[in-house]
């Protein structure tokens, strides 16, 4: 794929994200028509690939279903995701340690996968990623500020004071 083709694809996909965030797009055919109105004449197959690459999903909105992007989906599910994480933290002890820009969460044996998934589905989005073993979850951060904000919010979800006692 040439550089200009990649650039056009990125611009088209950015337009798709803008379109689905600003209006209710109901189908790939409707999305193709909207793209054509903006000068992007593409096939339904191209739209289908773009939808998959952008991880768009259809969600109920009133009496219809519309496409949303992963960021909007995370926001829609954040309260439910936070509640799932809060319930999980209520049922098991989780200790929080640190190594550089990595937080180390320890829980009971066999719980790390569930804990990491609950974190990933919550509104905690400052992390670069999570990595789960058997009883340990590593939460990776790009910088100190993001780590601090995440840690404060996590402790709040645990029902603990925002700052650990010294």
Please tell me the total count of domains within the chain.
Answer: 2
Owning domain of residue 16: 3-68
Reported as a single tens digit per residue, the pLDDT across 64-98 is 888 888 766 655 555 677 888 888 888 889 999 99
Q: List the one residue out of 108, 80, 84 whose CA is nearest residue 94.
A: 108
pLDDT-derived band at 7 (thresholds 50, 70, 90) equals confident
Are 32 and 93 found together in one domain? no
Of 73 and 50, the one with more pLDDT: 50
Q: Please check whether residue 165 lies inside any domain of the structure.
A: no
Q: Please check whether residue 14 lies inside any domain of the structure.
A: yes
Mean pLDDT across the chain, nearest whole number? 86
With 0.75 as the threshold, say if the pTM is over it.
no
Are 95 and 55 found together in one domain? no
Are 49 and 94 found together in one domain? no
Whether the CB-CB separation of 115 and 139 falls below 8 Å is answered with no
Domain boundary among 16, 37, 68: 68
Let me know the angle formed at the C-alpha of 51 by 35 and 1, rounded to the nearest 5 degrees.
80
Are 135 and 61 found together in one domain? no
Are 124 and 59 found together in one domain? no
- Diameter of the chain measured on Cα atoms: 62
Are 134 and 64 found together in one domain? no
Are 134 and 96 found together in one domain? yes
Counted residue by residue, the chain has a size of 166
Are 84 and 144 found together in one domain? yes
CATH number of the domain enclosing 129 = 3.30.1360.40
Q: Please check whether residue 163 lies inside any domain of the structure.
A: no
Q: Please check whether residue 164 lies inside any domain of the structure.
A: no
- pLDDT of 22 reads 85
């Amino acid at each position: 794929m040439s550089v200009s083709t990649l650039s056009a694809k990125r611009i088209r996909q950015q337009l798709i994200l803008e379109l689905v965030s600003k209006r209710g797009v109901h189908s790939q055919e409707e999305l193709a028509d909207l793209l054509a109105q903006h000068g992007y004449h593409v096939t339904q197959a191209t739209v289908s690939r773009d939808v998959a690459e952008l991880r768009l999903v259809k969600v109920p909105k009133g009496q219809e279903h519309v496409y949303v992007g992963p960021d909007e989906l995370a926001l829609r599910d954040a309260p439910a995701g936070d509640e799932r994480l809060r319930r999980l933290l209520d049922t098991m002890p989780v200790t929080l340690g640190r190594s550089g820009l990595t937080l180390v969460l320890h829980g009971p044996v066999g719980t790390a996968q569930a804990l990491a998934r609950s974190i990933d589905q919550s509104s905690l989005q400052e992390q670069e990623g999570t990595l789960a073993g058997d009883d340990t979850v590593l939460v990776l951060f790009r910088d100190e500020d993001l780590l601090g904000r995440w840690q404060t919010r996590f402790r709040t979800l645990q029902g603990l004071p925002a700052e650990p006692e010294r």
